[in-house]
Amino acid sequence: MIKKMFLLVLAAGIFATSCSNDDDGIVTSRLNLSLDGLENLGNDFVYEGWIIVDGNPVSTGVFTVNDNGDLSETSFSISKETLDSATRFVLSIEPAIDSDPAPADTKLLVGDFTGNSANVNSAIVGDFSNAAGAFFLRSPTDEIDPGNPNNMNDQYGVWFGTPGAPPTPNFVLPTLSAGWAYEGWVVGESGPITTGVFTDFDGRDDFNLFSGDEFKMGPPIPGEDFFLNAPAGETFPLDVRGRTVVISVEPVPDNSPAPFAMKPLVGTAGQETAPATHNFGQNLGSLPTGTVTR
């Protein structure tokens, strides 16, 4: 009876061991993700995890995120030998249909393993710990009386920098890694309205669709006037006074007309137009973070 019991226990142990292996005999382990601050990427893009082994990226699998920030998958089966050798975890944004086996430039989170866990953050995008800046209200493309400081229409435009002739940039923001760009926003009656995408603080952004004269360029800093081509739900000219103004960090390419989750700077426009300025405040809680365990 004791012998039979021993054989049963032995058989159960062999069966349990075989369940931890793949069909090809590779012993696997689990990589578990606990990530906050990710957003729904829509149908065209997915998140993909990577572990760095001997300096090379190894995919850990892809997942999506719903509108509540819930991950479609939080645990992934990886070769134990490979996972044990990993020194770093990286999360990237990838095309949903992707023929490139390498990670895209849009790397969002990174963290080094210490033992069996890695705390991940957005440092791979840029260091926002000292983020700061200011903006002013002026409408340099106003057709009513362009360039007149007393035209009483300056509340219809927002520009990022310090007023002057010409205005100068004042952002304290990092130069972003490849795959990322900044975008300005003003929150209107029905949602955020873009002021344009930019990577340089001392040059114009890529957008002037709302300007009073689309052929008249604004000052050599990012910003926008709000006179023409109002989006659905908005009425132009848009009075920016009292409205929320945001600087976001956007993936490139970007398939969403809304701000991405990362919004390091948020401010409220006061009642005074230029030469008065209005300060941004830090919004570092919007930056995604998390923990990866193995």
pLDDT at 67 exceeding the cut of 60: yes
So what's the pLDDT on residue 143? 56
CA 137: distance to chain centroid?
Answer: 26
So what's the pLDDT on residue 162? 97
CB 142, CB 225: distance < 8 Å: yes
Indicate the pTM of the whole model: 0.88
Among the residue ranges 5-19, 73-87, 130-144, the one predicted with the least confidence is: 5-19
So what's the pLDDT on residue 25? 73
Looking at every residue in the chain, the average pLDDT score rounds to 90
Q: What radius of gyration, in Å, describes the C-alpha atoms of the chain?
A: 25
So what's the pLDDT on residue 111? 98
So what's the pLDDT on residue 2? 37
pLDDT at 148 exceeding the cut of 60: no
Q: How far is CA 180 from CA 132, 145, 269, 281, in A?
A: 18, 37, 26, 21
pLDDT digit string (tens) for 197-224? 999 999 999 999 999 876 677 899 999 9
pLDDT digit string (tens) for 42-51? 999 999 999 9
pLDDT digit string (tens) for 102-118? 999 999 999 999 999 99
| Model confidence band, residue 7 (pLDDT cutoffs 50, 70, 90) | very low
Contacts of 285 (CB under 8 A, 6+ apart): none
What's the rounded mean pLDDT across residues 126-139?
Answer: 97
CB 198, CB 222: distance < 8 Å: yes
So what's the pLDDT on residue 101? 93
So what's the pLDDT on residue 218? 83
pLDDT digit string (tens) for 232-264? 999 999 999 999 999 999 999 998 999 999 999
